[in-house]
Structure 1
């Protein structure tokens, strides 16, 4: 008899930002799968089994979890932020489509979570107050040329852009290249928000104009939000500025 697989969003990092639904789903599971640092955020109850794996093993991780669920186990797959945003829900769906027939019989549930761009946006005001898009800047699964076309099209269309996975040890140059490309489309005054570890103890929020944005200001724990030409900066004496995108457009 098939078990159950729940793909759970842990939120951006702070325990209070995890939803009650996610907490209940984790408690109901017998076995937990996930990237090691994400599993480290979960306090295991007695009897639960932990299966940690590396960051770039999404499909093998999904397959291992599905195999256990197909054997009758109650399984939770943990994912940072929201599992449907550049995360494990898509990998599980892909594994089900390509895998054996018994994986399609597994009852699957996706439990949403607060994704990084929402946590970062909340720290600075409302930069996502008008139309926006999210782009995964990693070219591990798509060509860089496609990313260039998408960045250009989004900026020209007036979208605020949230960048996930902006840099890594293997990709130290891409965020800087993205800024160079965007400076050819957008005014240099457009605000850029670097939100590192939003909601966690080591949170760091930095706001600079696009003209001064540099790829070295981010790491893999950073979500970068690039405003549109309409995005506003409201200076406040003695307080951090507010960044917002007006609700209306001409």
Structure 2
């Protein structure tokens, strides 16, 4: 059996692709991914067999990657960002778990050598663009209720507010789902100032990247789409200006020692 590399290629800028991820792609004969990710990798994917499955076919992608590796092909299952954060790695292990429980009929999967290769996530890329927004305790919440009931998401939003965590919202909006980000804003406004800094990062590190720093009270679904990451500071996060430069950072308490 061959190896299945389960890897993240970062937010889009090829300079943020880790050497380990690059080496795994070079070793692979078959690449399984959403086509845009292969396009972003460019010539690194030349000479490989591409298996491009569209959005919504995540289970199919994971199954195909396991099947290819079980057939003896060194395979890379590729996702943007970190493949272990709201991405494909969990599906691979869920399928293996189902096989071990007897709910799948693919025993050959269990012989596949699996190596997970982490990548730089969108929240890290966004934070780096504005300074040090994730400088203290933080969390991430996906606002998509396709797989998680909204009641659960809402409970986590309140917990985030009560704990005063910096929070990065993944999947803040889609064509069919446009109200959650405004509801999340209203919940957080119960726990932190209206002036709390907010990062809106679209197409982070890619050619058409746009970065906006706004406030929690001004955050609105109209300024967000499915290619956007939204990060909201905690009650102590600071937005500072120096001429035409601006940064956001979240202090850890060093001011007492300065």
Tell me if TM exceeds 0.5.
yes
Which residue is 2:102 aligned to? none
Q: Please give the per-residue CA displacement for 1:203-229, whole angstroms capped at 9, x wherever unaligned.
A: 100011111110111111111100110
Whether contact under 8 Å (2:161, 2:187) holds in the other structure is: no
Q: Give aligned pairs, total.
A: 247
TM-score by length of 2: 0.92
Does residue 211 (structure 1) correspond to residue 210 (structure 2)? The answer is no
Map of 1:89-108 to 2, 5 A cutoff?
89-99=89-99, 100-108=106-114
- Structure 2: gaps spanning 5 or more residues: 100-105
1:132 aligns with 2:131: no
Q: Distance in 1 between matches of 2:225 and 2:36?
A: 16
Contact 1:194 1:207 survives alignment (8 Å): yes
SS state of the match for residue 60, structure 2?
A: helix
Q: Secondary structure at the match of 2:167?
A: strand
Distance (Å, rounded) in 2 between the aligned partners of 1:246 and 1:192: 15
Aligned to 2:69: 69
Tell me whether 1:23 sits opposite 2:22 in the alignment.
yes
- What's the counterpart of residue 201 of structure 1? 207
Which residue of 174, 190, 195 maps to 1:189? 195
Cα distance in 2 for residues equivalent to 1:224 and 1:153:
18
What runs of 5+ residues in structure 1 fail to find an aligned partner? none
- Measure how far apart 1:15 and its partner are: 0.9
Query: How many Å separate the matches in 1 of 2:55 and 2:7?
Result: 16
Question: Whole-Å Cα distance in 2 between the matches of residues 27 and 186 of structure 1?
Answer: 47
Q: Secondary structure in 2 aligned to 1:24? A: helix
Q: 1:27-82 CA distances to partner (integer Å, 9 max, x unpaired)?
A: 11010001121122233222x11001122211121011101111111000010001
CA distance in 2, matches of 1:82, 1:151: 23
Report runs of 4+ in structure 1 exceeding 4 Å deviation. Answer: none
Question: What's the counterpart of residue 231 of structure 2?
Answer: 225
The equivalent residue for 1:45 is 46
Tell me which residue corresponds to 1:248: 253
Is 1:143 equivalent to 2:149 in the alignment? yes
Find the partner of 2:180 among 174, 185, 188. Answer: 174
SS at match of 1:69: helix
Question: What is the RMSD of the two structures over their aligned residues, measured on CA atoms?
Answer: 1.4
Are the counterparts in 2 of residues 130 and 248 from structure 1 also a CA contact under 8 Å? no
Name the CA distance, whole Å, in 2 between partners of 1:63 and 1:96. Answer: 10
Give the Å deviation of 1:238. 2.4
Cα contact 2:81–2:121 (8 A) shared by 1 = yes
* 2:231 aligned counterpart, secondary structure: strand
Whether contact under 8 Å (1:166, 1:218) holds in the other structure is yes
Query: Does 2:154 align with 1:154?
Result: no
SS of the residue aligned with 1:62?
helix
